[in-house]
Amino acid sequence: MLAICSHCKKYKIPIILVSENNVDSLAGFAATVLQMPLVKEAWGHAPTTSTILQMAIGDALAITLAQKKGFTNEDFQGFHPGGELGKQTLDTTSGR
């Protein structure tokens, strides 16, 4: 992760960190830190609940930013031209 963060810093790629604490070792690289609540994990230690929470935060963030930037179904299809997701996006766009 440190290598990826260093690469992003070098090329001025902003990082959004999702963490349970805002003093995470990666926080110094982040333009924004989204601090999620401490949650009880299954069996008290296996990362289960926190990973689901991180996925939900990531999905919400991705959709919000895509909408703010005006990202369209056609844009999405451009990143998935040969896959099922791209085909489904075209079907949604064309009303099929």
pLDDT digits (tens, 9 = 90+) for 17-48: 999 887 888 888 999 999 999 999 988 889 99
Domain extents for the chain?
A: 2-71
pLDDT digits (tens, 9 = 90+) for 55-83: 999 999 999 999 999 998 888 888 877 76
Secondary structure (DSSP) of 50-77: HHHHHHHHHHHHHHHHHHHHT--HHHHH
d(CA 4, CA 10): 10
* Alpha helices per DSSP H over 1-96: 2-10, 49-69, 73-79, 84-94
Is pLDDT of 53 > 90? yes
